[in-house]
Structure 1
Amino acid sequence: MFKSARSYPAWLFWIVAWLVLGAGLGLRDPWPADEPRFALVAMQMVESGQWLFPHRGGELYSDKPPFFMWMQALAYQATGQWRVAFLLPSLLAALGTLWCVVDLGRRLWTPRVGYYAGWALLLTVHFVYQSKKAQIDPLVVFWITLANYGLLRHLLTGPAWRWWVLGWFAAGMGTITKGVGALALLMLAPLALAAVLRPLRAALAPGGVAHRALAWVEMPVRAGIGRGYFWLGPLAFVFAVALWIAPMATVALTHSDPVYRGYLGDLLLRQTAVRYSKSWDHHQPPWYHLGVMLSMWLPLMFALPWALPAWRRRLARLDPRYVLPMAWWLLVIVFFSIPQGKRDVYILPALPMACLMFAPLLPGILRRAWPRRIGFAFAALIVLALLGVGLSMWFGNPGFERKLIAERDFTDGARGLAAGVLAIACWGLAALLWAGPRRPILGMAATLCGLWVLNGVLVAPVLNDSSSARGVMSKVAARIGPEAELGLVAWKEQNLLRTQSRTTTFGFKMRWPEQLKQGLAWQAQAPRTRWLLVQDPALPACVDRNRAEIGGRSNRRIWWLVPYAARETCPAAPPLRPHEDDTD
């Protein structure tokens, strides 16, 4: 089956990677908070042919650059299936990130170290959790990792000018994907510092600590920094950014509608510089990302106590294979710790380089008794927790079932969900028993891989209707019939994405009272065939709830289906309840 014994680790790793990251592809729809938004924008690109300026409903969508949505739209044109297309860019980006880490580890150390780095990344909870979601971040992580790969190929194994240019180009692509792609260029910060300090070396005593430290000044020379080829890198970065910025800015600034100039300002200033300097959401303390790494970067971080002394010795030798990636890792942490607004996903781009730093040490660390015990205990705790939850659901926890029904309209009970959870727990138990005390790390790896595969295949499809709004929108379409029209008020992206009726919206960012005012006027034009679907907090008191119907529950929200007869007594602009402007 395999050409040689050396090919077996490669086949095993990539088959497992495809299974872990790809399990469940095509079995679910986009889930909030971000997935329906991006899928809706991509769908509207395909349907309207307007790719340069993304839209959400009838409004321009300026929160994020459109590159990720372009990838989803192209994936749909290639596959013809939105259930596959919306997740495909994240899957391919995650596999590309794994390849960069594995190949870089192989080139800087050995093939074995490369696969240790790959397994470390594949088994880290944060990486897989994000890679199985249709968000921009997996693609950003890929571009930043590819940029790191290209720069390090040139600086540590080069000169390799093609990789140098590719590294800068990838940083530019990351920038037009989500602004922060340029962080990859912080990899050059130690070299820039060395170049500035280069004149000091001649004044120091040869052989001293300071003299050896400033030996770094030779690296910029060896890397060709300052030569003609150097400038091809910055030019490649500018070219990548201009691929989108140039045509978009040209059209926006010359368009007769000022909305497009507002789009340009919001996207390039408010959502980047202003958001960084004056964050308006997700406020966290400065040490927040340290907690994220220690909790979400498991099981990798279990090796940290043994890695720290080894890193100190290697850094004392000024080994550039450690100095450059570790300096970059530290700079990324500092960068994202400065603003008040922080989310766990912000620090994710640093994870691939962190895995690369752990990889040469892992063979020795995993031969120690305590890391093996911790790995086994970690997997055992996961299995016991899943077993407890699954048995509780299976034998009936009335409070749990009531919560599922109240928040998600999960009317089928908890048996299907319980079966999936118990299947994962049984797999983990079997994996630990098979591995035994002699191979605890293998048992842990099998448990984690099985968890992600079975979750994608068994659990996600059970939760799909209640988590994606497909269930609510199917019920609404069946209730009003194929000839009726539906108007959305205080709607979320998943409602428009999963609608099965002829649907009209009245703005998204617009305040709810104005949406409702326009919706009532629209409904009055054809009272017999037009219905309104209104989120519960936006439903005015003047609506007769005996004539209105609960259209369904989804994602902890209640949706009311309002016929014309239920709102006949409402004024033209009815007052709403105090929390009417919750447009989150």
Structure 2
Amino acid sequence: MPKSLAIARRDAMEETHGMRPSRRRTAAINARRQLAHDAALGLLAATLVFVVLFWRLGTPTFWDPDEAHYAQTSREMASTGDWWAPYYNEQPFFDKPALFHQLQGAAMTVFSHAEFASRIVAALAALALVGITVWFGTTMVSADVGIVAGLMLAASPGIFALARYAILDTVFTMFMFGGAACLVVAALGDRPRLQWLGYVALALGVLTKGPVALVLCGLTLLISIGASLELRRRLLGLRWVAGLAVVVALADPWFVYMYLRFGQDFVNSYILDENFRLFVGSRFGDQPGFWFYFRILAAGLLPWTGLLVGRLFDDVRTVMRRERLDGVEALLWAWTITVVGFFSMSTFRLDHYIFPAAPALCLLCARGWSDVRANQWARGNAGARVGLHLIGPLMVAIGLGCGYFLIARLDLPPAAAIVPITLTLTGALLTALANVRGALPPRIPWLVIMAMIVTYAGLIVFVMPAIEQYKVIPDVARWVATRAQPTDRVASYRLNRWNPAYRFYVGRHTVFLEAPAEAEAFFNVSQPFYCAMRRSAYDEFVAQGARLQIVYEREGMSATSGRVLWTSYTPMTRFVVVAPAR
């Protein structure tokens, strides 16, 4: 057969099948590679989520006072069947609205393990928040940005801490950021029906933490429409009046009910004390300074902090050149400025208050990551490029810091060294790869995510059990619970931040004694009692003639947060349970 005829027959065959055989093989290989990539990504994400959010979730006892306080309030709600008014130690508790306690109390009716039931709501909310972040990034930017942002958020220290912490911040952030995301997609993505879901989510945010949800969203709206004519046109096109009516219709009935039931006490305690006076007053001394939250952000976003700073540098330079940021970028910064700025202006500051900024910041980091991949040497990506180079050195620093903490603060088995070793070696490898000329960041930050999984697994397996053995107040409370008769009185004296955990594990009404005269009056009543206190306080009472005897004694730590253990050496304290001397 002539060669030209053979070529013609081959071409006819290829036209029949739609492509050349080599192209078909290439397409098949690419499809298999994509399938393998997707499977590996799914496995990585599933492992990360399981380790960070759910693995051994209910194993540690309560430590921080807020966690035990919330859990006890929710348990009383579930046990009494009074699902609308929160109570703590059988007294009205006006700290926050009822929704979080209702969700936590419902979990307690389903799961028998108290610590797991108390924390599962926060963990599930964190999972939903990661999903919202992925959805928003995918919808408004690209699939790569959404996926990377979700991985960054799930791997951040902030979400590891708060998802395992039986308080409301992940739930509040899920509702508030989720509602804001729906409103943005409705306005910028031409999907107006989504705004109604956004208004419902904002109402749930109000029922979780109060009117601050509306304040933060309103301030973000004002900043955004003031920064961009396009955003003003788009955002003001939503049906805000009708949306606000939806929020009021859903959220107001609880506040009206509480006012009708408790009257001025609710106004004074919740509206004035827990909102207005807490923000502008000086109810609590020794508060951190104005820059406190910037340090919290720097630590809570590790190891992405340098990338975030680089992205900020790039965006500031863009604005200074009188160029416009795109609408999504401007909204993410407006959200961050609102959250951080609002709580920085408050006179009362807790580190977890600014957690709602975390999803937006991870989306900004993911955009920086993606933009450097797309055009590494672009002038507008200079800051993000430097920030990417800093991920490796930051991980080395984290590894060395963890090594110091594990050696100097805790008595851990040698296997715990895998945590600082993994972080340090991964950081060194990333530093080396980043300095290879022309090297682009991978599509997915595989090495960083795997190193963070190992880190969190090490914390769960080695560090948490080591801390647990020194948390003796739960054991002290359980001992009292098993010994005290129904007619016996139960009290604590100056346990301070340990009081909520003691109250939770003792499982009955407790008298919290603070002043010596108050304690002496309690002791002088003829009715039997058990009172937990420090050994030093017992020695002082006995020296003054109090007729007390020690019936139980344990040595443990007085610190109620890992931050205290990190910053300073805390000596062990002897705790005792005293009863009337015979």
Same fold (TM > 0.5): yes
Q: Does 1:251 align with 2:261?
A: yes
Cross-structure match for 1:564 = 580
Q: Are 1:445 and 2:449 counterparts?
A: yes
Q: CA deviation at 1:447?
A: 2.1
* Contact kept? 2:550, 2:577, Cα under 8 Å: yes
Partners of 1:160 and 1:10 in 2: CA distance: 32
Residue 23 of structure 1, CA deviation: 2.1
SS of 1:86's equivalent? helix
* Displacement of 1:473: 2.8
Partner in structure 2 of residue 347 of structure 1: 354
RMSD: 3.4
TM-score, length-normalised on structure 2? 0.77
1:331 to 338, 345, 348: 338
**2:564 matched to which residue of 1?**
none
> Is 1:48 equivalent to 2:80 in the alignment?
yes
Q: Does 1:37 align with 2:39?
A: no
C-alpha deviations, 1:27-86, integer Å up to 9, x for none? 122212211111111122222222322222132222233322222111111222212111
Q: Say if 1:34 and 1:218 are closer, same or farther in 2 by CA, change over 3 A.
A: closer
Q: Distance in 2 between matches of 1:486 and 1:430?
A: 56
Structure 1 residue 121 displacement after superposition:
1.6
CA contact under 8 A between 2:303 and 2:395: conserved in structure 1?
no
User: Do the aligned partners of 2:68 and 2:500 also contact (CA within 8 Å) in 1?
Assistant: yes
Aligned to 2:219: 186
Superposed displacement of residue 477, structure 1: 5.8
Counterparts of 1:138 and 1:15 in 2: how far apart (Å)?
20
CA distances 1:242-283 after superposition (whole Å, capped 9, x unpaired): 242132222223xxxxxxx42442012211011111142253
Structure 2 residue 485 is the aligned partner of structure 1 residue 472 = no
2:327 equivalent among 317, 320, 327: 320
Show the counterpart of 1:240: 250
Shift of 1:360: 1.7
Contact 1:94 1:142 in 2 (8 A): yes
C-alpha displacement of 1:110:
1.1
Q: Is the contact made by 2:77 and 2:105 (CA closer than 8 Å) also made in structure 1?
A: yes
Deviations 1:337-370 (A, max 9, x none): 2223222222221121122122222134477885
Contact kept in structure 1, 2:551 and 2:577, CA below 8 Å: yes
Instruction: Give me the whole-angstrom Cα distance separating, in 2, the residues matched to 1:420 and 1:37.
Output: 35
Contact 1:286/1:337 (8 A) holds in 2: yes
Alignment partner for residue 310 of structure 1, among 304, 307, 314?
314
Q: Distance in 1 between matches of 2:350 and 2:372?
A: 31
SS in 1 for 2:531: strand
Q: Is the 8 A contact 1:31 1:468 kept in 2?
A: no
Equivalent residue letter for 2:260 = T
Query: What is the rounded CA distance, in whole Å, between the counterparts of 2:492 and 2:233 in structure 1?
Result: 64
Residue 571 of structure 1: aligned partner: none
**Counterpart of 2:249 in structure 1: which amino acid?**
F
Taking the aligned partners of 2:318 and 2:135, their CA distance within structure 1 comes to 21
**1:283 counterpart (279, 283, 287):** 287
User: 1:264 & 1:47 partners in 2: Cα distance?
Assistant: 26
CA distance in 2, matches of 1:26, 1:193: 46
Q: Percent identity?
A: 20
1:92 matched to 2:159: no
Structure 2 contact 308–364 (Cα < 8 Å) conserved: no
Q: Whole-Å Cα distance in 1 between the matches of residues 420 and 337 of structure 2?
A: 37
- Match of residue 135 from structure 1: 167
| AA matched with 1:345 | H
What residue number does 1:224 align with? 237
Residue from 152, 156, 164 that aligns with 2:195: 164
Which amino acid in the other structure matches residue 147 of structure 1? G
Amino acid across the alignment from 1:232: A
Please report how far the alpha carbon of residue 320 of structure 1 lies from its aligned counterpart in structure 2 after TM superposition.
0.9
Counterpart mapping for 1:438-517 below 5 A? 438=433, 442-467=446-471, 469-476=473-480, 480=483, 485=488, 487-490=490-493, 492-499=499-506, 503-506=508-511, 508=512, 511-513=514-516, 516=519
Q: Secondary structure at the match of 2:554?
A: strand
The whole-number CA distance in structure 1 between the counterparts of 2:324 and 2:469 is: 57
Instruction: Give the partner amino acid of 1:533.
Output: A
User: 5+ unaligned residues in a row in structure 1: which ranges?
Assistant: 195-212, 254-260, 394-399, 401-413, 567-584
From 266, 272, 275, give the equivalent of 2:275. 272
Is the contact between residue 165 and residue 232 of structure 1 (CA under 8 Å) also seen in structure 2? no
Could you tell me how far 1:103 is from its partner in structure 2? 0.6
Name the SS of the counterpart of 1:144 in structure 2. Answer: helix
Q: Secondary structure at the match of 1:317?
A: coil
Distance (Å, rounded) in 2 between the aligned partners of 1:381 and 1:193: 40
> Do 1:476 and 1:551's aligned partners in 2 also have CA atoms closer than 8 Å?
no
User: Aligned pair 1:384/2:400, yes or no?
Assistant: yes
Aligned residues of 1:489 and 1:512 also touching (Cα < 8 A): no
For residue 265 of structure 2, the aligned residue among 262, 268, 292 is: 262
**Is 1:298 paired with 2:279?**
no
Q: 1:58 to 1:250 in 2, by over 3 A?
A: same
SS in structure 2 of the partner of residue 62 of structure 1: coil
CA shift in 2, pair 1:189/1:488, >3 Å: same
Question: Matched residue of 1:80: which SS?
Answer: coil
Q: For 1:377-397, what per-residue CA distance to the aligned partner results, in whole angstroms no more than 9, with x for missing partners?
A: 22233333444554x47xxxx
Q: 426-435 vs 104-113, which deviates more?
A: 426-435
Aligned to 2:137: 105
SS state at 1:532 partner: strand
Q: In the aligned structure 2, how far is the partner of 1:52 from the partner of 1:456?
A: 35
Residue 288 to residue 463, structure 1, CA distance change in 2 (3 Å): closer
| 1:96 shift after superposition | 1.2
Task: Tell me: CA distance 1:214–1:432, structure 2 relative to 1, closer, same or farther (3 Å).
Answer: closer
The structural deviation recorded for 1:135 is 1.8
After TM superposition, give the deviation of residue 146 of structure 1 in Å. Answer: 0.8
Look up the match of 2:544: 542
- Could you tell me how far 1:565 is from its partner in structure 2? 1.5
Q: CA deviation at 1:314?
A: 6.0
Between the aligned partners of 1:216 and 1:385, the Cα distance in structure 2 is 43
Corresponding residue for residue 201 of structure 1: none
- Which of 176, 188, 191 is the aligned partner of 2:207? 176
SS at structure 2 position matched to 1:498: helix
* CA contact 1:432–1:447 (8 Å) conserved in 2: no
The structure 2 residue matched to 1:81, chosen from 110, 113, 119, is 113
**Matched residues, number:** 505
8 Å contact from structure 1 (residues 276, 341) kept in 2? yes
Give the whole-Å Cα distance in 2 for the aligned partners of 1:233 and 1:357.
Answer: 28
TM-score, normalised to structure 1's length? 0.77
Residue identity in the other structure for 1:274? R
- Change in Cα spacing, 1:536 to 1:50, as seen in structure 2 (3 Å) is farther
Code of the aligned partner of 1:267: Y
Structure 1 residue matching 2:581: 3-state secondary structure? helix
CA separation of 1:83 and 1:423: change in aligned 2, threshold 3 A: farther
CA distance in 2, matches of 1:264, 1:454: 46
Residue type matched to 1:149 in 2? A
Mapped contact 1:285–1:340 kept (Cα < 8 A): no
The structure-2 alpha-carbon separation of the partners of 1:518 and 1:248, relative to structure 1 and needing over 3 Å to count, comes to: farther
